[in-house]
Every structure is written in structure tokens, then in C-alpha cells.
Structure 1
């Protein structure tokens, strides 16, 4: 393999953990590309006035204009995100300041618009939300894709980094008793593909439901959510969070 600085390295195998825009995946599986979720997102970490924060409480608000989430951090900081349905790589969205963003969420409950407006523009991080549609290949002879290079997911159930960590643990266990790299990589693929596919599909569905902007569909969604037993939701998430190592 030749590196950017011109140096070349050799090895028995290659484990590619180079993210959703993986160069290795593009070379090996050129037809697999990131897909756009249909919504774009702004994020920030700030230290707002204390009245803006409920200690220890994470909240996510779904509305017709978009979705807004808040999570408290250490040192009285708060992480927040705002998602709006938009065309892919929209120039209008990329130009949004906190003023435009707070206006978009002006009808939401306290402290959503206030928190956005309080945030400095320099704190904003903006990205379209993308993932990888589940694939049937992680192992490619002596090449193995792991983490976001193999199974990038939307952030709706917070499992992107978690699944990458699971990959590392399971792969390390397999490599301890499988000396043939090709066999080890295939076993990893067989073990990890069903779980990561479930995570990707569940997160994708949750994102679509959360980002509904049709009033009639929102009314139906909200009615179902109110009547859905908490145990059903817990069982669905338990199947994602549990892994047999």
C-alpha cells in the first residue's frame, strides 16, 4: 500500500477503519456509497445559563418544523442538535446562522429557541445526515472493513461508535484462535453483519418517523406513540444494545 507521503508499506492483511468515506471501500466495493437520510443537522456544545439546563435529563422534541435534542454534559455544559428536512448539500442550509435556526424553531417549547439564539455562530457544526445502506460484504479476501467503513448508521439510536467498539472486541477474539486471516475475516462478517444490519435499519426507520412533517402523518404517529407500551420499545432497543461477546 502506498501512503500520501509517498512511502509504501506491506502487510499480511488490511483492516480498514477509515470511516464512512472509506478510501479502501471505494477501491474494493465501488458501488457502495453513502446515502442521504433526507434531513440535515446542526450541533453545538455550549455552557448556557443554568435555567436552560435540567441536570441529568436528555430530551428530544419532534415537531413539524424539525427535531431538537438536548443532553447535559459535565461542567454545566450542554450538547444540542437540531435536524430539519432539506435537499442534499443545500446551500441555504449551509448558510444558516443561529438566528435563522432559532427562527425555524421559534414555536418550540422553552428553552429550544432561546438556547439556539444564545449559541454563538462559531459554535455551530453543520452536516447532512448520511449512512451506508446494509451491504453483504465486510470481508474481501485479505481486506476487512470495520466500523463506519462497513456499517455507518444514522445517529438516531446512538450506536455508531458503539458498533465500532463491538467490532474491535469481536475481531480481536476471533484473531486469537483463527490464524488464517481470510477465514477470520469471513467469521467476523458472519457474526457482525446481522447485528449491524438491524442497527442501521432501526435507526433509519426512527429517523424517518421522527422527521415527519405532514400534519396528518404526525397526528397518527403521535397517537401511536402515546398508546405504544413502553415494554415494546424497551424490548426493541434491548435487541440492539445486547451483544454476545
Structure 2
């Protein structure tokens, strides 16, 4: 572990070089803080799936001077289309109002490209790959963390941005409980130049009994797609079985979009069980804090997991600038962020239950309600989602 001390230690040590951890590092460096990020993977990977950056994280990236660089590796989404598996429209929403009110459209990109923009914005050597913190102890003034290689570093604060299965959270809040949603997912990126949706700048989601499929372009030659389906937790399957199952569901419910599966390889299809985290009442213990999924993991049904981590990073950096490198900054950060993240997680969970309904009567009621939803309701939801904490 190559962490170098700054005046006897770092200001902030971050575990996890995902989107939240890297954004925190960029924001903290801009505030004049010394920062190191440790990441157990050997480096930035090109393997992965897509992600949509909504107007709330894009506003953060504008504050950090990175919005144009992120736009350069993204594809703008200007329309959201929601349908049922019969092809009937449930909602069709142009995003002109969102772009006007918040300054940004949704940006669809490859997760690895977004990480690369953030990584390149940091001073050389900020991120240490192939290492992680395996234990830590703190006193009134600092945290001493020990790496997997046995080296130690002292920092004023330690932030766990290490995801749903956060090791930092396990040290501090051993009782934190993950909650399985009852659904699993396939995700992949398919190289495809054909226009599948009739609108290159549209995102479509199709709801069917027990499953749903969503997709959009992330570049002129790539579609990101995901397919969620009801399944037992931790089901053991091979890449070939995953691919075959995805194709079977597409042929049955989403025949217009089966090309998404046909044109990718089994090894490209990522399977992930969908879980969230039951509410943690406190996100820090003295000088050790949590960020993103480590603090408030949400299911992906609002497309806000990465977005909320970016908001966390911005707010935490602001509070560190205001309160200094003290636990009071972590208190203030949680006060600003807790209500919104709880609402996002709760709303996302409810949407996950709605979209897989199998009972035909309940599906009819759901569909009728969605078609009749007033525009003012959607506008109110956007305001709540996209306004920064």
C-alpha cells in the first residue's frame, strides 16, 4: 500500500473507487483536502454495464467542472417510454421540461467510461488499486487503517464507499440488514447500429408478468439493456443458462427486442440479485462514515443508485469544507441526505413490486392508473428527484 502521509496523515481515506468514492475524491481535492482512495480490484475495468446519469448528478458534475467531459462519453435520453408486454403504452414522456428546469437531459453511458472521467480528474496516485482496508481503529483525533498488505495509514476521516456489501459498514454497524427484493437481473451492452426503438434518443421499459425489460442507446453503436425477473435468491446458474433464459423471456414477452440478446455473448450477460439495505439510523461512528450504497443501498427501479452516491459525495465535501475534518461534518451530511435517500429507496422498492404483477385484474388497475396519472404528479416527482439536497 503506497499511501503517503500528509503532515502526519491524510485528511480523508476512502474505501471504494466506484462512482461515489471517486466523486468524493474529486470534490474533496477541489476543497483542498488530501485524499487517498483504496480499491481492491486490480484497476479500472472495461467490463460492466450501462448507467443513466440523471440531472441531479449532472448538476454535481457541473460544479466539479466535469459535465462536458461526461456528456462527451454519454448518449442523451430525451424521451421515456413505458409499455406493457402487449405493446400498449402506459406512459410516454418527453424530457424537454426536465432539461429546461434542471439544465440537463438524462445521460446514458458505460459505467467504466464514467469512472474513467472521474479517475482522470484526480491527481496521479490518488487511487491505490489491488488494496483494501481490512481493519481500523480510531481515537479522538484520527483513524488508523490497516491495508490487506499489512501497511497502516492515519487519516482524519475514513469513508466507506464500498457498496451494498460494505466491509466498513460491517465494522461499524454489524446489525445492518440487506433485503432481497425477490427479483434478479440480467444486464449487458450489445453492439447494435440498428434503430430498435424508432427514436435513437428514447429509453423504453416494458412490463410483463413476473419480469420487465428496459433499454436505451449509450452510444451510436451500443445499447444497454436490463431484464429483471422473479427468482430465488443466490440461484446458481452458468453464463450459458443466463443467456438462454434471457432469450426465452424476450421471445415470450419482448419479441421486438430479442435482438439485444441474440447479438451479445453469454459471457457479456451479468446476473445480479436485486437487494437494498434496511434503513441505518446513523451513517457514521465518530470519524468513520458511509457513502452511497454502503449507507442506503436502493433497488435500481428509479435509476438513482449511482446518482444518490454522487449527491452524497458533493454534500459530504461541502460539509467538510464548512465544519472541518470533524464528526460534526458527518452529522451535517446525514441530516441533509437521509430523508431523500430513504424516499428514493422506498419509492424504488414499491415500483419494483408494481412492475412484475402477474394477476391480470391488478395489472389492469395498475395500467389504468398509470395512463391516467396527471402531468403535475410526474413534475412533482422530478422536482423531488432532481433537486440537489
Q: TM-score, normalised by structure 2?
A: 0.59
Q: Secondary structure at the match of 2:153?
A: coil
Q: Secondary structure at the match of 1:78?
A: strand
2:258 corresponds, among 98, 113, 116, to 113
Distance in 1, Cα, partners of 2:240 & 2:349: 26
- Tell me the residue number matched to 2:303: 158
Q: Could you report, residue by residue, the CA deviation over 1:205-236 in whole angstroms, capped at 9, with x for unpaired residues?
A: 11111122222221211121111113212312
Q: Could you report, residue by residue, the CA deviation over 1:60-100 in whole angstroms, capped at 9, with x for unpaired residues?
A: 00011410001112132101110101111123587633233
Q: Contact 1:39–1:129 (CA<8 Å) still a contact in 2?
A: yes
Distance in 1, Cα, partners of 2:302 & 2:287: 32
Distance in 2, Cα, partners of 1:224 & 1:80: 26
Distance in 1, Cα, partners of 2:388 & 2:294: 20
- The answer as to 2:148 corresponding to 1:7 is no
* Residues 1:113 and 1:138: Cα distance change in structure 2 (over 3 Å): same
- Tell me the residue number matched to 2:285: 140
Q: Contact 1:53–1:72 (CA<8 Å) still a contact in 2?
A: no
> Counterparts of 1:193-212 in structure 2 under 5 Å?
193-212=338-357
> Counterparts of 1:40-59 in structure 2 under 5 Å?
40-48=184-192, 50-54=194-198, 55-59=200-204
Q: Secondary structure at the match of 2:337?
A: helix
Q: Contact 1:99–1:117 (CA<8 Å) still a contact in 2?
A: no
- Tell me the residue number matched to 1:39: 183
> Counterparts of 1:61-210 in structure 2 under 5 Å?
61-91=206-236, 96-179=241-324, 181-210=326-355
* Residues 1:49 and 1:180: Cα distance change in structure 2 (over 3 Å): closer
- Tell me the residue number matched to 1:25: 169
Distance in 2, Cα, partners of 1:233 & 1:153: 20
Q: Contact 1:167–1:192 (CA<8 Å) still a contact in 2?
A: yes
Task: Looking at secondary structure, tell me which structure has more helix per residue.
Answer: 1
Q: Could you report, residue by residue, the CA deviation over 1:163-194 in whole angstroms, capped at 9, with x for unpaired residues?
A: 11111111111111213611111111111111
1:16 corresponds, among 147, 151, 160, to 160
Q: Could you report, residue by residue, the CA deviation over 1:130-150 in whole angstroms, capped at 9, with x for unpaired residues?
A: 111222111211111111111
Task: Looking at secondary structure, tell me which structure has more strand per residue.
Answer: 2
Distance in 2, Cα, partners of 1:120 & 1:105: 15
Runs of 4+ in 1 over 4 A off after TM superposition: 92-95
Q: Could you report, residue by residue, the CA deviation over 1:106-163 in whole angstroms, capped at 9, with x for unpaired residues?
A: 2334422333233221211111011112221112111111111111111111111111
Structure 1, unpaired ranges of 5+: none
